[in-house]
Structure 1
Amino acid sequence: MLSVFRRWYQRKFSDPDAVMLLLLILISTVVLLIWGKMMMPVIVAAIIAYLLDWPVVQLEKAGIGRSIGTATVMVLFSAVSIIALVILLPIVSKQSVNLMQETPQIVASAQNWVLTLPEKYPRYVQVYQIENIMAGLNEKIGALGESLISLSFSSLVNVAALLIYLILVPLMVFFMLKDKNFFLQTVSKLLPNERRLITQVGNEMNTQIANYIRGKVIEIVIVGGVSCLTFVLMDLRYAMLLGVLVGLSVLIPYIGAAVVTIPVAVVALFQWGISAEFWYLMIAYSIIQALDGNLLVPLLFSEAVSLHPLYIIIAVLFFGGLWGFWGVFFAIPLATLVKAVITAWSSESSQVKEGTA
């Protein structure tokens, strides 16, 4: 057994470049686990900088200095963000409050419908089963209400943190974009000389993460915008809120679309019942999801490394449980990083094997 492990170790880590890559991954993981929450503003700033680097580069190619290009892009990005928040935030907030107020009515309607099942299907559904289900459901709804109230109070405490984000993050984004080359040179000096595999994986991940962030933001805007427009035209209640939820659901591949279908279907069912309008809405919603998965995603992520759906789901569950929202957001790039590292080690092992042969 020890000889097998020794041969595996020699095959994978006989090259100093492979050892340096492993040490860098371990150190980065430890830093994120220990200081991840503290460094979250820096991570958010880096994400936005990745998103805005492409237009800055295009302005540079057009002959505009990087400082002026960075300032121009930051002003445009801030203006668009403020306008979007001014338009969307009040509507979404109001619809969220209204939906919270009407949730008891929706639950009561669902309970009344469920209570009719024993009369319709006496051979399959018994009254005591429905009562047990209702009792458990009411307890969970009560617990959910308490958690929402506690969350609202805790959010008031985080207002100061939000203000810090609004001030520090734009400043960090500006300097990251303006002095990009300086920071890259500084990081390069900190890396060891044995960094061939680190450079290989870093170049691949730099392209992957940049493409993923830009593509995902575009996908959220398109899917959310089309969903809002569709729901408004079909006169669905809470159209803007549900449209925003549908747009954000694309952050979680496969799982997000399935989860967000529940509030869309529940609201439509409460508003129209089992009617033609309900089925028209569900058909339109299904078309949006089908176009997103079969047309929009292949166009936006054509340069991304393909991953099996099972690997994506595992990555979402693992990294989401580890880092919450940002773990879900970066599940695919992180899974791609794991794949790139495995590919680099495998190619290195093949080269070592060929050299010894």
Structure 2
Amino acid sequence: MSVFIAWLREWLADTELVMLLSSLLVIFLLLMLLIPVLAPLLFAIAVAYVLDGVVELLRRCRIPRMLAIAMTVGSALLLLLFALLTVMPLLTAQIGRLVSHAPQYVQSLRDMLQQVQTNHAEWINPDYLQQVIAALAAKMQEWGGALLKFSIASIPGMITLLVYAVLVPVLVFFLLKDKHQIIAWAQQFLPRERTLLQRVWAELDTQIGNYIRGKFWEAFVVGLAMWLSYWLMGHDYALLLGVLTGLSVWVPFVGMAVVTVPVVLLSYFQWGWGETMAYGVLAYLVVQTIDANLIVPWLFSEIVNLHPIAIIVAILMFGSLWGIVGVIIAIPMAALVKSVVSIVLERRLAGAEKG
């Protein structure tokens, strides 16, 4: 017991470290409690990080800041309106087509598996195969029902979506316009001993900004490349697969593994076994290879390197806490934990050297 008390006194003697950990704990608890309410603000902050890079680029061209902000936000709203009027109807039509053809695709999958069992009867247990077919059919029907249910249930949410469509652009504009004033105002609620907290914030601000901007452009480029590839090949669900592939980059490792299943299945339903399907899957693999070896190193050169195990653990932990929002912000939160742990170890080593 005396050893624990001595250790506790040693830690409490480091006032700056105590203030840092206490402040982070309070912020974390507030997010846990208020994240449903603050969802529009958090989304606006993410968009502001993306657009802030464009604003800074325009400022380097000697354009006044207010004019640069107005041009950036206005252009973003026009692009959003264009997407809502052109992309969303096409995407909705493809989802509807997928749902309506789901029974046909289930039967096609069943026939394919039965053909595999016939050709390799000595390797495959027919009873087990029937169970697999039944499970796949039930799962595909469940997914189709979920899509229909989502489309129907989302009708009341259109009012909320319209409110967000008004609130988020306004929040983004003022976040860009009054960024420094907002930060100065928030600092009033922090403890006076905040040297370490400011150091963590400086590192995290850079990392989050680079991460969100990088992920946005990575998702856009990868999704666009996937859509163009499959559109040129005449795939009926080219836009849907492009959107799914673009969204998958927000979830490292897991996203690619999950989206590969619909890519392969829809390619099989579209073309069947043959050269065209092979070319389609090859195009998908080429896009993923270019993303992993060219786009990611270029966009994320300034992001703190994290081990794949640390990334997966962060996805599991923060995903269980905050759902899809936690999955998306898992890497920035892991970078925050890494920064804090580095400071703790640094202070501990400095204290050991003094002792």
Q: Normalised by the shorter chain, which TM-score bucket?
A: over 0.9
1:346 equivalent in structure 2: 345
Instruction: Give 2:237's aligned amino acid.
Output: Y
1:153 equivalent in structure 2: 152
Are the structure 2 counterparts of residues 56 and 118 from structure 1 closer, same or farther at C-alpha, using a change threshold of 3 Å?
Answer: closer
1:175 equivalent in structure 2: 174
Instruction: Give 2:207's aligned amino acid.
Output: Q
Instruction: Using the aligned pairs only, state the percent identity.
Output: 37
Q: Deviations over 1:297-355 (max 9, x none)?
A: 00000000000011111111221222222212211111101101111111121222222
Instruction: Provide the TM-score with structure 2 as the length reference.
Output: 0.94
- Aligned length, in residue pairs: 355
Are the structure 2 counterparts of residues 223 and 331 from structure 1 closer, same or farther at C-alpha, using a change threshold of 3 Å?
Answer: same
CA distance in 2, matches of 1:85, 1:69: 24
Matched, 1:302 2:312: no
CA distance in 1, matches of 2:334, 2:293: 21
Matched, 1:258 2:257: yes
2:191 equivalent in structure 1: 192
Q: CA deviation at 1:11?
A: 4.7
Matching of residues 33-72 of structure 1 within 5 Å: 33-72=32-71
2:119 equivalent in structure 1: 120
**What's the RMSD between the two structures over aligned residues?**
1.9
2:226 equivalent in structure 1: 227
Note if contact 2:16-2:194 (Cα within 8 Å) is conserved in structure 1: yes
Note if contact 1:13-1:19 (Cα within 8 Å) is conserved in structure 2: yes
Give ranges in structure 2 of 5+ residues lacking alignment.
Answer: none
Instruction: Provide the TM-score with structure 1 as the length reference.
Output: 0.93
Are the structure 2 counterparts of residues 19 and 207 from structure 1 closer, same or farther at C-alpha, using a change threshold of 3 Å?
Answer: same
> Any idea what SS the aligned residue of 1:351 has?
helix
Matching of residues 282-301 of structure 1 within 5 Å: 282-301=281-300
Instruction: Give 2:263's aligned amino acid.
Output: V
CA distance in 1, matches of 2:149, 2:89: 22
> Any idea what SS the aligned residue of 2:155 has?
helix
Q: CA deviation at 1:295?
A: 1.1
Are the structure 2 counterparts of residues 283 and 189 from structure 1 closer, same or farther at C-alpha, using a change threshold of 3 Å?
Answer: same
CA distance in 2, matches of 1:150, 1:8: 56
Higher relative contact order (CA 8 A, sep 6+): 1
Give ranges in structure 1 of 5+ residues lacking alignment.
Answer: none
1:32 equivalent in structure 2: 31
Q: Deviations over 1:186-238 (max 9, x none)?
A: 11222111111101100000000000111111101111111111111222221
2:75 equivalent in structure 1: 76
Are the structure 2 counterparts of residues 5 and 297 from structure 1 closer, same or farther at C-alpha, using a change threshold of 3 Å?
Answer: farther
CA distance in 2, matches of 1:11, 1:85: 58
Instruction: Give 2:175's aligned amino acid.
Output: M
Which deviates more from structure 2 when the two are superposed, residues 212-221 or residues 113-122?
A: 113-122
Note if contact 2:251-2:328 (Cα within 8 Å) is conserved in structure 1: yes
2:209 equivalent in structure 1: 210
